[in-house]
Structure 1
């Protein structure tokens, strides 16, 4: 047996306690190599996590050796599971097939998509549902820890919003008071500018807080979000462009418009009063 090392005719590439790599009896191209787990496993999905890691590392190591030694134009990594997928040997194996332009290998894909857009979305949802439910079943504590990380970011965004308001109030009081007492139009305009800057900054905090709340809801609901990811764009539909500027609904929020709106109106009132005195 090849894995046991009992076949003297085998062109063995290397063997470890977990994995064996060797040339098949009839290589498709020069350097064609098979990588197999030493334990008998008929189906790819029956590999343990450790075996999958060992096989993956062996495939990568062998591929690098082939590329370095033979300098092929390309390399196919082929794994077939099931009769419909052309599996003929009931043992998991990976083909590493070096490729050269014009070689005798023939691989082709059918033209066109197998499903329309709606069917693809349903297929995607089905696969993601199983994928995430399996991950969640293995380590439910990971999801709770993930949620605590997201909640910490939400809390930090909320605190940053409160701090921006606290910093702005003395700035507005100082600039508006100075502008009125000293009849300084420039200081009044600086006060208005400070309100605009802090308002946009605060609205962005709100935008980020909402994005992380959406991420929190998706993780809590068991949607397919990578473990411990703190990227809120993963909770957005595919293809959505990331916009770092506050949206209209952020600016019109009760936490933004009712606070910054009166302050900017007061500043414009001061500016108008100073202009009227200047040209009166």
Structure 2
């Protein structure tokens, strides 16, 4: 198996500057291939890396089908073809070369160079077709794998509980820090001990990073909540907030710059940090 990165995933992440992206949303991406078969030839793919069409979720299938239809409408309006082929190949025997589900929307003209060759004779006689029909019917996955409304409500309740816990943890961090800062900074001023002031500064930094991380996790789970609420392709009861981000996204425990400078972090820890530095410098100069 090749370890090369999936070229379609690179396009989804916006890391291929040469890609001619028609549109991209949270679920699907449409773009022109490197070697279009005809004018307006477009590929439509799910943002999540899925090798074969049969492994898509029901929700992803609907999203992809809708995107293919909208793409075909747009292409037909733009280039006025005589017809359109919608092609999806699964497996190397079916000419799939990139293991990421994709649909070809191929505008066709009566004099184009595209050739889709079908055999001149039927692969099965009527009796064999009846047997195959019965076989496929016996294993056809009837019903829907969609999450029930009750399961979705419970899923949302679990996510909301995590959001609440993160908010409470943020408040607790501030509550624990204040007496530590009061004690260390007060002692440093009274006894002119700059080392104690530095200890207070270290506490401010540690609690500030923790608080910013709580904020980051809270934001990630809020995005997950929104995705589940609208019925996006999130597995039932999944608590992985990375699923609410772009394909390939990860949620780590190191806060981003936007978390550190947020209204919940910077206005609280910034003054404490500056005050501690001032006290440490003053005490050191005494």
Q: TM-score range by the shorter chain?
A: 0.5 to 0.7
Question: Relative contact order (alpha carbons < 8 A, sep ≥ 6): 1 or 2 greater?
Answer: 2
Among candidates 108, 112, 116, match of residue 97 of structure 2: 112
Measured against aligned partners, the alpha-carbon deviations of 1:207-238 in whole angstroms (never above 9, x if no partner) come to: 00000000000000110000011111111111
Give the aligned CA root-mean-square deviation in angstroms. 2.8
Matched, 1:265 2:250: no
Greater Rg by CA:
1
Q: Which moved more, 1:138-147 or 1:155-164?
A: 138-147
SS of residue matched to 1:225: coil
Matched, 1:244 2:253: yes
**1:101 corresponds to:** none
Kept in 1, the 8 Å contact 2:192–2:284? The answer is no
Query: Aligned-pair distance for 1:113?
Result: 4.2
Among candidates 213, 224, 231, match of residue 222 of structure 2: 213
Work out the number of aligned pairs and report it.
Answer: 160
C-alpha separation in 1, matches of 2:246 and 2:99: 22
**2:162 corresponds to:** 153
**1:203 corresponds to:** 212
Matched, 1:275 2:284: yes
Equivalent residues in 2 for 1:127-166, closer than 5 Å: 134-136=144-146, 139-166=148-175
Runs of 5+ unmatched residues, structure 2: 1-53, 55-88, 106-142
Among candidates 255, 262, 282, match of residue 253 of structure 1: 262
Query: Aligned-pair distance for 1:143?
Result: 0.5
SS of residue matched to 2:264: coil
SS of residue matched to 1:178: helix
Measured against aligned partners, the alpha-carbon deviations of 1:96-125 in whole angstroms (never above 9, x if no partner) come to: xxxxxxxxxxx94536349997869xxxxx
Matched, 1:169 2:140: no
- The structure-2 alpha-carbon separation of the partners of 1:188 and 1:221, relative to structure 1 and needing over 3 Å to count, comes to same
TM-score when normalising by structure 1: 0.52
